Every structure is written in C-alpha cells, then in structure tokens.
Structure 1
Amino acid sequence: MQRGVDDGTELSDWDSESAQSARLEDFFAYMPQHRYIFAPTRELWPASSVNARVSPIPLQHTDGSPKLNAKGEVVFMPASAWLDRFRPVEQLTWYPGEPMLMRDRLIAEGGFIMRAGSAIFNLYRPPAVVEGDPGAAGPWLDHIAKSILIMPIISSAGWHIVCRNQPRRSTMHCCSAARQASARIHCLLQSLAQLAPGILPK
C-alpha cells in the first residue's frame, strides 16, 4: 500500500530512494554507548532506527551456504546485532590526517596504545576539494604570509591549512617539522612559495 500526502500525491518514488539512502555498510557499532555511527554524517543512531532502515541480515556458514534453523528456514540477524558482532569500534576521536577507521590501536592518556582487533572511529572529515584557479588565492596567501611574519606562533592555523594542501609526503614532512615556531615559519614560507611564486618579497 502506497502512502500519500494530503493532496493524494503518491510517494512510492520517494520511499524507494529513502530506503536506499541508509545501508548496512554505512554504520559502525559504537560499543561504549551501544549506539550506531552513521558514517556519512558521523551521527549516532539508536538500534531501533538502524533496524527500521536496514533489513535483517541472512547468516551464512564459512563456505557461503545459508544457515538454516530446525525447520529448514534461513536464519536472520537484526542489522544492529550484526554490526555489534562484525563492525564494532571501541572509541571515537577527531584526528585530522588519519583514516576514518583507525585499526589495532586505542587512545589512552593522550597517546596511542597498540591493541590488535580494536578500532577507533575518526570523526574528522577531510574538506571537499574544490577545483579553481590557484592564482585567485593570492590575497588569502598574502594575508597568511603577513600574519605569520608578524605573529608566527599565533598563526599556527595558517601554516596547517597551507601545508595540508601539499602532496601527502610533503605534508607529513612539513607538519612534523613545524612543531616548533622556527620550523613552522620555514614550512609556511616554503608552501607559499610553491603555491604562489612571486607572492613573497625577495
């Protein structure tokens, strides 16, 4: 039976698209709160919502054949229970530069500890890359260059943004070296020179 709004418009197309917008692979089970991370938005869902949007999962043996109950019927597992078993994470963090799923480690007292089988879900989402004319960034780069020369420590956000737009190998070298103020200035100025040659004074 199709639902409709007050004017009688059928919503079958909307229903189909909505049902497909949340899939099993979109979720991870956050075990400390027993809730479920919807990866596209990083929001936490209750089990009832996950089960309402994702159909029960048919279980299989290791050889791929379906598991059957005593009556010969296929055995199903609720989506939330399947996630608890096969896609759990122990912690949440916000860590730029790391993958969404940080495997085989945990965070304790400000550092990592290695623990096989554990996982951390990284809430950080890299910014979308927008195509454009690099030359149009001149005024922005000029502003960062002036601020870093005047207040190099306060302007740490400036060097981080510029360094993050270099190739990954350069980024790792640049941003690790920039932990001290003098290295930070050198890193930023090199990045500015690469992104916009001629913007800095000779």
Structure 2
Amino acid sequence: MENRSMLLSQVITGSVAVIASLGAALITSNYTLESAKVQVEKDMIVLSAANANENAKEIRARAEEYLLAFQDLMELLGNERVVVEDAHQQIHKMDKLAQGLLVYGGAELGTASFTLNLAIKNALLSSSKDDVTDVFNAANAWYPAYFSVIKTYDNHAMPKKAKADLQDKLMSSLLGELNKAFKTDSQRSAF
C-alpha cells in the first residue's frame, strides 16, 4: 500500500510538473507572439512613413520642375520678341509635367496644374485682361493645392503630429466658441 501511495504521489508530482511546464511554455509563447505582433506593427509604421517620405520627395521634385518650367515660360513671354512656337513648346513641356503631378500628386494638384496651363494657353490666344487675370488666379490656386497634398504626406509620415495638430484645432475651436459665448453673456448682463 505504501508503494501504491508513493506511486500516486509521484504521478501527482509529475502531473503538476508537466502542467506547470506547459503553463510556462504557453505564457512564454504568448508573450513572444505579442512581442512579434508589436514589432510587425512598428515595422509597418516605419515602412509606411518611409514610403510617404519618398512619395513626398517625388512630388516636391516634380513640383519644382513644373514651377521652373512656368518661370521659364514667364521669362520667355517677357521678352520683347516672342516666338509663338517656343511658347507652345514650353506649354507642351508644362502639360507633360502636369501629367506627372497628376499621377504622383493626385487629382487636386494635377487639376490645379492643368488649370494653370489652360489659363496660360487662353491668355496667349486672346488679348483680354480677363484671361491674364485667370492666369494669376490659377497660379494663386496652384500653391494651396500643392501644400495641401504635401501636408497629407507630412501627416501620414508623422501621425502623432497630425493627431496633435487636430487636437490643437479642436481646442482652439472650442475655446473660440466659449469665448464667443462668454462675450455674448457679458454683453447681455451689461444691459
């Protein structure tokens, strides 16, 4: 009987040891799995930010090339004698550059670029001051479109900054509304 109780004690001790080992292995594997998930998420964020930075660099380079072509056209048109064929070649170059901005920068920047090109073409074909004004308006609209696109890449590359900027805007808006309400209440109590 003593052998039997000793055997039972050894079986129980062995079972507890196996269960404890399995529990420890389960906890360790779960911790390892969670660590791997966190690392994968971190790597995805870093890779995504790197891709956003590369795309933003490409857009900046193409925008610079477009603006330099625009400046070249303005210099060409500022000459005393303008060769129409040269102006058309420069506009054709700008159309190609605008196509690249459409592909890399999206519809907003591409549309702004093509709108500016079209305004220049229309101004060259007519002698109306309205068409020249359209060129200035299109040029002024191009810059906000460019900065809007670049800001989206900056926000993507720095999501915590974008979140902080949003919180700042929300707080400013809230404080502005509270300030308005306070002024309104103060004006009412003054009467």
TM class by shorter chain equals under 0.3
Larger Rg: 2
Instruction: Point out the structure with the larger helix share.
Output: 2
More relative contact order, 1 or 2 (CA 8 Å, 6+ apart): 2
**TM-score normalised over the length of structure 2:** 0.22
